[in-house]
Amino acid sequence: MKSILSLLPLASLLLPLGASASPCIPQGVTITAQQILHVAPNSTTCANAPASTLGECATAAQAAPALSAAFTKYTLTSKAEQAAVLGLIAFESGEFEYNRNHHPGVPGQGTRNMQSPAFNAKYAASIPAIKDQAEAVKDDPDAVLDLLVAVPEYDFGSGAWFLTTQCEESVRTALQSGSEAGWRGFIVDCVGTEANDARRKYWVRAVEALGA
């Protein structure tokens, strides 16, 4: 009895804050600022961001905890899937300078994966803490986006939400293999865009950074 009691403080240290004791301890994902910098070297600083995007810019140091929390929340534990999402958001946000569409300026398009207003509405509705507020402003896509970009974990979480809730299981299975064909399938068949060289460069660096 005495020896079991002496183990308890150690066991509680191993549990994430707020987690209930369970035989299956959830594994947190950690993405470091250094890994993000390998993918998005411009994200060392926001000092060079134009005034028009300064409020949107995030450094790798700011991105790291938000992305780690999001990958943990959506149980994105496959390194190949993490690399695909990290490469996507680094490309789409101009290395984290933007979280809103400026060219041509589609109202409500944004978060770090620059998803469309329709996906942002679905995404906001999936987050209990903001779903009522999002419903109240649903006719104003920019206001829905405001709710999402206000919280770094939501802002950086859209890519993981999108992959885990909007892609076919077959797309995820192929992606998890780590092959280039799997990555192309994700970009073309789920994101719905061209798997071009500019995107591929970000993906390759993300694979290197995460050891995927």
Peptide bond into 104 cis (omega under 30): yes
- Residues in region 171-200 near ligand NAG by CB under 6 A: none
Question: Could you tell me if 179 and 47 are in contact, meaning their C-beta atoms sit under 8 angstroms apart?
Answer: no
Q: How far is the CB of 48 from ligand NAG (least distance, A)?
A: 6
Task: Kindly indicate which of the ranges 15-23, 75-83, 91-99, 190-198 contains the residues binding ligand NAG, using the contact rule CB under 6 A.
Answer: 91-99
- Report the nearest approach of ligand NAG to the CB of residue 106 (Å): 19
Residues 6+ apart with CB under 8 A from 49: 56, 57, 97
- Report the residue from 56, 81, 95, 155 that binds ligand NAG according to the rule CB under 6 A: 95
How many residues are present in the chain? 212
First-to-last alpha carbon distance for the chain, in angstroms, is 44
Q: How far is CA 92 from CA 86, 114, 132, in A?
A: 10, 6, 28
87 binds ligand NAG (CB under 6 A): no
Size of the site for ligand NAG (CB under 6 A): 4
Which amino acid would we find at residue 175?
L
- Mark residues 39-58: x for contact with ligand NAG by CB under 6 A, - for none: ---x----------------
C-beta separation of 88 from 210 below 8 A: no
Among 63, 83, 94, 161, contact with ligand NAG (rule: CB under 6 A):
94
Q: According to the binding rule CB under 6 A, does residue 164 interact with ligand NAG?
A: no
CB 183 within 8 A of CB 203: yes
Q: Binding mask 97-126 vs ligand NAG (x if CB under 6 A, - otherwise)?
A: x-----------------------------
Q: In the complex, what is the shortest distance from the CB of residue 116 to ligand NAG, in angstroms, rounded to a whole number?
A: 21
Nearest-CB residue to ligand NAG? Answer: 42
Residues 6+ apart with CB under 8 A from 17: none
Residues that bind ligand NAG (CB under 6 A): 42, 94-95, 97
